[in-house]
Amino acid sequence: MQAFETTGTIDPTGRLTLDQPLQVAHSAKVRVIVLLAEDENVVPIEDQTEISESPDFSAQSFLSMIDEIRAQVPDEEWKKLPTDLSKNVDHYLYGSPKVEE
């Protein structure tokens, strides 16, 4: 998932125009969150979505995101991790005694 921050203008009909085009490789449907200054006069529109709604994330999209991050780490860096890291994470982070099993 990519995020962009830019500015734009909302015209009297409620349409948003960006101040400059977004640099993306292809067209896509997007989710837009609009932040307005406190002094702006805005007339609510019935189908507006409030920002308090939680996004629709699935377990699959979360795992895909983890896979993308994992793929960015070279194999030689993964090989540097201790083989007992999951069992002895407290030892490696805080110096607790190692679990020997």
Supply the pLDDT for residue 43. Answer: 53
Burial-class residue 68 by CB neighbours within 10 Å (0-12, 13-18, 19+).
exposed
- Where do the domains of the chain lie? 54-101
What are residue 16's phi and psi, to 5 degrees? Answer: -95, 130
Q: What secondary structure, in 3-state letters, does the chain show?
A: CCCCCCCEEECCCCCEEECCCCCCCCCCCCCCCCCCCCCCCCCCCCCCCCCCCCCCCCHHHHHHHHHHHHHCCCHHHHCCCCCCCCCCHHHHHHCCCCCCC
pLDDT, tens digit (0-9, with 9 covering 90-100), for 57-101: 666 778 888 898 999 999 999 899 999 999 999 999 999 999 887
Model confidence at 40, pLDDT cuts 50, 70, 90, reads low
